[in-house]
């Protein structure tokens, strides 16, 4: 496997492998040992969905030192995480809807980890065995609400506040990937996953000590510096090295 997406044609929803702009339907369990049809499915009339259906989204905060500095917060001694509502998910191409126009709302480009096997109490050394792949994401944040509360779930869980996709990359090394965000074509965030305070394997291990992770669960690994406000009609593009770009507009 390489890039895996989730698609809809009419009432039919299916997973498929993406190769050079063509899709090959998956047969069997996406988290098992699936096979793929040899004949490509035409892309005409096919809708790209959120690439995975998680039971939960775990967001990690302040995981890049430069972002912690720009927010004026102390570096965490262990991963800082919270849960985001799964109803906040939207796919590539969908619109981000801002509920309170008088609030500041920020973009945050992130690398997402997709869990592939049920996992509890795993070590960092063994964590890779439980990871299905990686995907591009945004953790849109109502900064006005976040700055007024001691917990961050509400500020980050509004409908449409978690763009994800377009695909899950199953063959990629997560430890040295450029991660960028472009706002209306202008580069706003420009980081690298090598700068993560707690890397992907450490995060899977730490979170699995605190809760059971299930196939499809998503861990958002944090955002680099450069976060900024968004406005109506903005075009936001997340580019992570080796992945298809994640593009969403703001309503």
pLDDT at residue 1, rounded to an integer: 64
**pLDDT single digits (tens) 226-243:** 999 999 999 999 999 999
- pTM value is 0.96
Q: Report how many helices (DSSP H) and strands (DSSP E) the chain contains, helices first.
A: 4, 20
Q: Which residues pair with 119 in a beta bridge?
A: 213
**pLDDT single digits (tens) 72-109:** 778 889 999 999 999 999 999 999 999 999 999 999 99
Contacts 24+ apart (CB under 8 A), 40-43: 41/7, 41/9, 41/16
Helical spans, DSSP H, in the chain = 65-71, 143-146, 153-156, 200-210
pLDDT at residue 43, rounded to an integer: 80
Domain 3-48 coded CATH 2.30.30: yes
Residue whose token pair is 């394997």:
201
Residue spans of the domains in the chain: they are 3-48, 57-250
**pLDDT single digits (tens) 59-71:** 999 999 888 788 7
Tokens of 138: 């945004």
Tokens of 159: 């409908």
Please give the Cα distance from 225 to 246 (Å, whole number): 19
How do the pLDDT tens digits run along the chain, 251 residues long? 689 999 999 999 999 999 988 999 999 999 998 999 999 988 888 999 999 999 999 999 999 988 878 877 788 899 999 999 999 999 999 999 999 999 999 999 999 999 999 999 999 999 999 999 999 999 999 999 999 998 899 999 999 999 999 999 999 999 999 999 999 999 999 999 999 999 999 999 999 999 999 999 999 999 999 999 999 999 999 999 999 999 999 99
Residue 48 backbone dihedrals phi, psi, to 5 degrees: -85, 125
Please give the Cα distance from 91 to 160 (Å, whole number): 9
CATH topology of domain 57-250: Fumarylacetoacetate hydrolase; domain 2 (3.90.850)
């Amino acid at each position: 496997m390489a890039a895996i997406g989730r698609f809809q044609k009419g009432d039919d929803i299916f997973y498929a492998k993406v190769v050079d702009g063509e899709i090959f339907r998956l047969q069997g369990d996406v988290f098992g040992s699936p096979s793929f049809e040899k004949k490509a499915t035409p892309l005409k009339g096919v809708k790209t969905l959120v690439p995975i259906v998680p039971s939960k989204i775990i967001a990690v905060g302040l995981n890049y030192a430069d972002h912690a500095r720009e927010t004026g917060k102390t570096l965490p001694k262990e991963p800082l995480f919270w849960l985001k509502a799964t109803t906040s998910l939207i796919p590539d191409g969908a619109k981000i809807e801002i509920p309170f126009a008088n609030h500041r709302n920020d973009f945050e480009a992130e690398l997402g980890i997709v869990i592939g096997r049920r996992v509890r109490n795993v070590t960092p050394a063994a964590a890779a065995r439980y990871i299905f792949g990686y995907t591009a994401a945004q953790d849109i944040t109502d900064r006005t609400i976040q700055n007024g509360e001691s917990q961050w779930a509400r500020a980050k869980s509004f409908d449409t506040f978690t763009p994800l996709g377009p695909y899950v990359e199953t063959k990629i090394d997560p430890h040295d990937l450029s991660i960028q965000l472009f706002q209306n074509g202008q580069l706003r965030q420009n980081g690298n996953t090598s700068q993560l305070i707690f890397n992907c394997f450490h995060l899977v291990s730490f979170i699995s000590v605190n809760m059971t992770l299930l196939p499809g669960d998503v861990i958002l690994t944090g955002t680099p510096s450069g976060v900024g406000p968004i406005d109506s009609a903005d075009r936001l593009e997340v580019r992570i090295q080796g992945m298809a770009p994640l593009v969403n507009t703001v309503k």
